Amino acid sequence: MTKHLSSSVNVPKIFVIGKNGQVGWELQRSLSMLGDVIALSRYEADLQAPQALLERIRMERPDVIVNAAAYTAVDKAEVDEVAATQINGVAVGELAQAARDAGALFIHYSTDYVFDGSKNGPYVESDEPNPQNAYGRSKLAGERAIQQAGGDWLVLRTTWVYAARGHNFMKTMLRLARERDELRVVGDQYGVPTWARMIAEATAIIVARAMQARTRGEFASGIYHLSAGGATTWHSFAELIVGYARQHERSGSIKASVVTPILTADYPLPACRPVNSILSCEKLRCDYGIVMPAWDVAAELCLADLLECNG
């Protein structure tokens, strides 16, 4: 815990739940200038059995709670929906109630998978959710539990999250590109790859402005879409990853010479994925003044970090 202001000033206490995840890891840095960040791992904040965490919130009464913990195994959730719903739905509702009772601002992340992907165009926050898989249903349950709990809250829906750490599409493509001559990647699903660092940095701006609005008595709870600018397919995202790595990786270990687009039907998975995962972030721009970088610019920045770390 780091003090940023003198002890005579009331420094906000910020709980970050899920500190070892892709977004949680970045939040520890981005939120550190706003107050004292207390980052909790799954061992300190187990959402399958959240009683100890809820008691800690009641005792310590943080000013802000940012929940970056989630059940994220999309395909496994198809046969483990009870556990996914406990973590992404039931426990989230209990956290929201604890935040309300403590007078804390509650920030939670949700997903494009609450939509069915059938819309012709970007989804806006008021579009009716219709999840097509267990993971999406569990995340929608969390959104609704937060709204039911009341208090001051923000739900940030994001898409196709990746980072230089953890398990994600970018790191998988890099690994496969070092092992195979050809990669075959789905080319008929559209969405927006979003760097965890950008999510965390945007979250810090949102938290700062939300805290100011609360002080003025002007804060309004709500759902916001938060993803990078533009849109692409998994195939085009993979092409960028492989092309950048081939050009910049010093070891020259990239074997893949071609990235071939395939249909979703050619790569069946247990969980149905939306064909369209594009989210409109216009509401975020209007209310918080945030315009996210283009997906490809952010992806190259992340790749530069990742390849530098790996030598």
Q: Tokens 């799954």 map to which residue?
A: 42
* Terminal alpha carbon distance of the chain: 31
The number of beta carbons lying within 10 Å of the beta carbon of residue 9 is 8
Single out the catalytic residue among 71, 123, 135, 288.
135
The candidate with the shortest Cα–Cα distance to 99, out of 151, 46, 59, is 151
Tokens 């009464």: give the residue: 61
Distances (CA, A) of 49 to 53, 82, 146: 9, 13, 18
> Cα(19)–Cα(302) distance, rounded to whole angstroms?
19
Q: What's the CA gap between 125 and 15, in Å, rounded?
A: 26
Distance CA 134, CA 125 (A): 21
Distances in whole angstroms, Cα of residue 145 to Cα of each of 1, 25, 173, 190, 268: 31, 25, 36, 29, 32
How crowded is residue 156: how many other Cβ atoms within 10 Å of its Cβ? Answer: 21
Question: Which pair of structure tokens corresponds to residue 128?
Answer: 């009716």
The answer to whether 113 is a known catalytic residue is: no
- How far does CA 120 lie from the centroid of its chain? 24
| Axis-axis angle for helices 91-102, 51-60 (nearest 10) | 10
**Residues 50, 42 contacting (CB under 8 angstroms):** no
Q: Are the C-beta atoms of residues 66 and 203 closer than 8 Å to each other?
A: yes
Residues taking part in catalysis: 135
